[in-house]
Amino acid sequence: MTMPDAERMRRWRMVLGSEADPESGTTLSGPDRAVDAALAALYDAERGEPGTKRSAGLGSSAPRVARWLGDIRQYFPSTVVQVMQRDAVERLGITRMLMEPELLNAVEPDVHLVSTLLALNEVMPEETKQTAREVVGRVVAELEARLAERTRAAVSGALDRAGRTGRPRHSDIDWDRTIRANLKHFSPTLGTIVPDRLVGYARRNHSVQRDVVLAIDQSGSMAESVVYASLFGAVLGSMRALRTSLVVFDTAVVDLTDELDDPVDVLFGTQLGGGTDINRAVAYCEQLITRPGETVMVLISDLYEGGIREELLRRARNLVESGVQLIALLALSDSGTPSYDADNAAALADLGVPTFACTPELFPDLMAAAIRRDDISAWAATNLAD
């Protein structure tokens, strides 16, 4: 069905703003005028000049910002609200709406908002910090509901499969796999399979089966990755079969392993921004590794190195040769193709370090593959292909 001309002109008028009035000849209805005013307050203001306006403008008035936040939540779906909030911070510099509890309570929380709050943590007024923690907590709870159980299931399954044995006790026999492995031994005379070998699970115990080291670059460009990696670190840290260490770094290194029981504490323990010394971080992580053959180390960084590149590559080579399953993630986010240092990525790949970006939805499967000691480069080629 062809869209009527009047509806088409109305939509173009909403896109182009009031400057298109003379050409469009369109008169907006009451509800449309309200939506148009909310859009104009943000997108008709001059870029880089907070408060300057060609139309409504948000200015610097806290009540006006609060009303605008309420309006956009009324007129638009939450995904659009999140984009508009982000644009308000970037285009108009309205960080004030993140610095006052009543305004912060009005925003639609998402991963990008959490990243902004973490970047403002050091300058945030004390009376706002508790509200900020509550907002971050809401986002973390939503992410946990979406990703935590899937991560535990994938990793637990990988640990179980890694623990298979050919001499299981009767209660530990995997009958499905045992039958499939012995189909060629079917006896027509007996009318049954005569198993040549049993397949089962090694008897479970409470010992640590794998060590996991997450090293997270907390430079400003990695903000979204920091949020997701911190959550996954907390989930992995809750599993008794894993010994999980969480390290964040810029030019300094901070070990947040002791905070893993609370991902919100982990996030507020980060400090987004600053330079990057990946070599120093990897050097610290080397000290945490006591069982190389049972260790998965995930370096999450865009690989823009401010430290000693040659030392970084030497350490990476030593880790791989010692048996560590070392993986470099250029990003752990949904934000598309990341910016990264292509030369360092290629150099790590040449050393046998799988190097690629990964979405949060695929990270559980990646960790499962690493625990099984699958070929991670082949896994990435299969699972991350467009």
Residue type, 263: P
Cβ burial of 189 (10 Å; 0-12, 13-18, 19+) is exposed
Question: Average pLDDT in the 246-265 region?
Answer: 92
Largest Cα span, the chain: 92
CA distance 51 to 58: 6
Between CA 294 and CA 98 the distance in angstroms is 44
More confidently predicted of 190 and 2:
190
**Residues 346-386: tens digit of each pLDDT:** 999 999 999 999 999 999 999 999 998 999 999 999 998 65
pTM: predicted TM-score of the whole model, two decimal places: 0.70
Range 336-341, long-range pairs (CB < 8 A, 24+ positions): 338/221, 338/302, 339/221, 339/302, 340/302, 340/303, 340/304, 341/302, 341/303, 341/304, 341/305
**39-48, 339-348, 353-362: segment of lowest average pLDDT:** 39-48
pLDDT band at 37 (very low <50, low <70, confident <90, very high): confident
| pLDDT (mean) for 44-71 | 54
Residue 270, Cβ neighbours under 10 Å: how many?
A: 23
Reported as type and span, the H/E element at residue 242 is strand 242-249
Judged by DSSP in three states, 213 sits in: strand
- The pLDDT tens digits for 277-319 are 999 999 999 999 999 999 999 999 999 999 999 999 999 999 9
Report the relative pairing of strands 164-165 and 200-201 from DSSP bridges.
Answer: antiparallel
Cα→Cα distances 166→181, 197, 251, 374, Å:
11, 7, 49, 20
Checking if the pLDDT of 164 tops 70, the result is: no
**pLDDT at position 64:** 62
Residue 159 tokens read as: 């640990």
268-279 tens-digit pLDDT:
888 776 778 999
Average pLDDT of the segment spanning 260-275? 83
- Selection from 236, 270, 228, 227 nearest residue 250 by Cα: 270
* Predicted local confidence at residue 50, as pLDDT: 40
- Mean pLDDT computed over 34-45: 79
Strand partners, 164: 201
Mention every residue, 6+ apart, whose C-beta is less than 8 A from residue 249: 215, 216, 217, 218, 276, 277, 278, 280, 281, 284
Higher model confidence: residue 42 or residue 199?
Answer: 42
> Which spans in the chain are helix H?
5-16, 21-24, 30-43, 62-75, 78-92, 101-104, 111-119, 126-162, 175-181, 223-237, 263-268, 278-288, 309-322, 342-350, 363-371, 376-383
How many CB atoms lie under 10 A from the CB of residue 17?
15
- Closest by CA position to 111, among listed 222, 228, 217: 228
Point out the least confidently predicted range of 21-25, 71-75, 104-108: 21-25
Q: Which residues contact 326 (CB under 8 A, 6 or more apart)?
A: 297, 299, 316, 319, 320, 353
The single residue listed with the structure tokens 């298109």 is: 20
Token pair, residue 42, equals: 């943000």
- Dihedrals φ, ψ of 153, to 5°? -65, -45
HSE-CB at 219 with a 13 A cutoff on CA atoms is 21
